[in-house]
A and B are shown apart, each in its own frame.
Chain A
Amino acid sequence: MNVMWDIIPIGIKINFFYTNKGLDDMVKIGIPRALFYYYYYPLWREFFQNVGMEVILSPETNKEILDNGIKATLSEACLPVKVFFGHVIALADQVDYLFVPRITKVEPKAYICPKFMGLPDMLRARLHNLPHLIDTVVDTSSDGNSTQCWTDCLQEVGSMWTNNKHLVDSSIVAALQEQNRFKQHLLDGILLPDAIEGTVIPEVAAASHPQQTIQIGVLGHPYNLYDPYISMNLFKKLYSLGASVVTPESLAENDIAKKAGMLPKRIFWTLGKRMIGSALNFLENKQLDGLIYLTSFGCGPESLVEELVVRWTKKQDRIPLMMLTIDEHTGEAGIITRLEAFTEMIKRRHKA
Chain B
Amino acid sequence: MKITYPHMGNVCIVIKALLTDLGLELVLPPPTSRRTVELGVRYSHEFACFPFKLNLGNYLEAYELGADTILMAGGVGPCRFGYYAQVQQQILEDLGVKMEMVVLEPPDVSFHEVKDKIHYLIGDLPWWQVFKAVRFAWSKARAIDTIEEKLLYFRPRVKEPIKLEGYFRETLKEIDEAADRREVERVVNSFLKKSEIMPQLSVKPLKVGLVGEIFTLLEPFANYDMERRLGLLGVEVTRSVWLSAWINEHLCRGLLRVRTECSDDKKLAAPYLNSFVGGHGVETVGCTVGFAQRNYDGVIQLAPLTCMPEIVAHSVFPAVSEDYQIPLLTFYLDELSGEAGLQTRLEAFVDLISAYSRKKEGVL
B315's partner among A77, A112, A297, A308 (CB-CB below 8 A) is: A77
Interchain CB contact under 8 A, A74 and B309: no
Interchain CB contact under 8 A, B78 and A111: yes
Starting from the known contacts A121-B272, A268-B77, 14 additional A-B residue pairs (CB-CB under 8 Å) come to A111-B77, A111-B278, A115-B308, A117-B276, A118-B312, A120-B274, A121-B315, A124-B319, A268-B83, A297-B47, A298-B47, A303-B80, A308-B87, A315-B94
With contact pairs A111-B77, A124-B319, A269-B77 given, residues A76 and B306 touching in the complex (Cβ less than 8 Å)? yes
A279 CB, min distance to chain B CBs, angstroms: 14
Q: Report if A71 contacts B (CB, 8 A).
A: no
Q: Report if B268 contacts A (CB, 8 A).
A: no
Interchain CB contact under 8 A, B276 and A298: no
Interchain CB contact under 8 A, A73 and B47: no
Which listed segment binds B: A35-43, A248-256, A258-266, A337-345? Answer: A258-266
Total count of chain B residues near the partner, CB < 8 A:
45
Q: Which residues of B contact A121 (CB under 8 A)?
A: 272-275, 312, 315-316
Which among B94, B315, B317, B318 has the greatest number of chain A C-beta atoms within 10 A?
Answer: B315
Interchain CB contact under 8 A, A74 and B79: no
- CA–CA, A263 to B308, complex, Å? 23
Q: CB-nearest residue of chain B relative to A105?
A: B78
Dominant SS among interface residues on chain A: mixed
Q: Which residues of B contact A111 (CB under 8 A)?
A: 77-78, 278
A103 CB, min distance to chain B CBs, angstroms: 10
- CA–CA, A104 to B312, complex, Å? 14
Interchain CB contact under 8 A, B315 and A114: no
- Which of the four size classes fits the interface of chain A? 35 or more
Listed A/B pairs (28) with beta-carbon separation below 8 Å: A74-B315, A76-B305, A112-B78, A115-B312, A117-B275, A118-B273, A118-B275, A118-B315, A121-B272, A121-B312, A121-B315, A125-B272, A125-B316, A125-B317, A265-B85, A268-B77, A268-B83, A298-B47, A299-B47, A300-B47, A300-B307, A303-B46, A303-B47, A303-B48, A306-B45, A307-B87, A307-B91, A311-B90
Q: Which residues of B contact A268 (CB under 8 A)?
A: 76-78, 82-83
Which among B76, B79, B277 has the greatest number of chain A C-beta atoms within 10 A?
Answer: B277
A26 CB, min distance to chain B CBs, angstroms: 30
Interchain CB contact under 8 A, A114 and B87: no
Which among B86, B273, B274, B275 has the greatest number of chain A C-beta atoms within 10 A?
Answer: B275
Q: Find residues 293-319 in chain A having any chain B CB closer than 8 Å to their own CB.
A: 297-304, 306-308, 311, 315
- CA–CA, A139 to B77, complex, Å? 15
Q: Report if A192 contacts B (CB, 8 A).
A: no
Q: Find residues 64-104 in chain B having any chain A CB closer than 8 Å to their own CB.
A: 76-80, 82-87, 89-91, 94
A305 CB, min distance to chain B CBs, angstroms: 9
Q: Report if B228 contacts A (CB, 8 A).
A: no
